Structure 1
Amino acid sequence: MELAQVRLLVSDFASCYRFYADILGLKPQSGASEGPYEKFSPAIGSAGIALQDRSAMAELLDELDEPATGHRSLVVLRVDDLDAYCERIAGRGGVVVHGPAPLTERMRVAHLRDPEGNLVELQEWLLLRG
C-alpha cells in the first residue's frame, strides 16, 4: 500500500484553489481552477495535496442529504488489487461504503470510514500517466 495523497473536501473550490496556488505557491497539476478536482505539488518532494469539491464526493457516495460542512478531508491510499484488498478489509470487520467501482478510465476506487467517520479512499490505478 502507498499513501497517494491527502485530499481536502472544499465548498468554495475557486477560493481554495487560489489559496494553495497563489498564496502558498504550490504548483497545480492541471490548472482546473474551478474544480471539481486539482492536485498541487510542492517545489521539492513527491507528496502533494489535493482539493475536491465536497458536493462531488457527496454525490459519488450518494450522501446528498449530508450538511455542507460534512466531510472535510479524505486520506487516499493506492493498492495493487482493489477487490482483494476490500475482501481482506471485510474479513477484518471493515465496512466498505462505496465500491469497488470505476471512477475514471484510469482508476477504480472504494471508500470506507474510520471509527471517527473520516473518509478513506482506496485506489487501484489501471493506467499510469504517460
Structure 2
Amino acid sequence: MLSQIRILVDDFPTSYRFYRDVLGLSPQETGEDPAQAEAGPYGAFKDKQGGTDVALFDRALMAKAVGGDGAGERGSADHAVLAFRVPDVDAAYAEAIGRGAQSAAAPVDQPAWGMRVAHVRAPEGTLIEFCAWEG
C-alpha cells in the first residue's frame, strides 16, 4: 500500500513552512515541540482528505541511507521517494529485484527511523522504498 509520498529537500525549515503555512497541510502529531518539528530532518503532513501522507525528509540523509550521492539513474539528485508500507520488506525487495528492478539499497534496519527499509529504482531513476514498522 502506498503509505507516503516523501519530498526530499535541502532547506527543511523553509519547505516545512511552505507545506504547513502556504498549502495548509496539518503536521502529524508527534508530541515534539513545534519548533523542533520545523527544524527537521523529517516531518509528515496529513492529507486533508485522509489519503496518502505527504512527508519531507532531508535529501542528504536519504542519500546516505541508500549509500550514494542522491543521484538517480539519469544523474539528477533525488527529489522524491514513493514509500510503500509492506508486511515483509525482504520479500517485497526480493520480488521487485526478481521482476527487474534496479537495487538502490538492500534491506536494512533503520533504528533511528523505527523501521526496516529497502530501496529500488524505477526505470527512470525514481527512488522506491519498501518499509515496515510496528503499529
> Is this a same-fold pair by TM over 0.5?
yes
Distance 1:21 1:106 in 2: 24
Structure 1 residue aligned with 2:102: 95
Distance 2:84 2:96 in 1: 13
Structure 2 residue aligned with 1:62: 67
Normalised TM-score (structure 1):
0.85
Task: Give the unaligned 5+ runs of structure 1.
Answer: none
Residue correspondence of structure 1 range 1-130 to structure 2 within 5 A: 2-29=1-28, 30=30, 31=34, 32-64=37-69, 66=71, 70-104=77-111, 106-125=114-133, 127-128=134-135
Distance 2:99 2:14 in 1: 40
**TM-superposed deviation, 1:25:** 1.5
Distance 1:21 1:60 in 2: 26
**TM-superposed deviation, 1:65:** 7.7
**TM-superposed deviation, 1:18:** 0.3
Q: Is contact 2:70–2:77 with CA below 8 Å preserved after alignment?
A: no
**TM-superposed deviation, 1:36:** 0.7
Instruction: Check 1:64–1:88 CA distance in 2 against 1; reply closer, same or farther (3 A cut).
Output: closer
**TM-superposed deviation, 1:83:** 1.3
Distance 1:40 1:33 in 2: 12
Report SS of the residue matched to 1:71: coil
Instruction: Check 1:100–1:34 CA distance in 2 against 1; reply closer, same or farther (3 A cut).
Output: same
Percent identical among aligned pairs is: 40
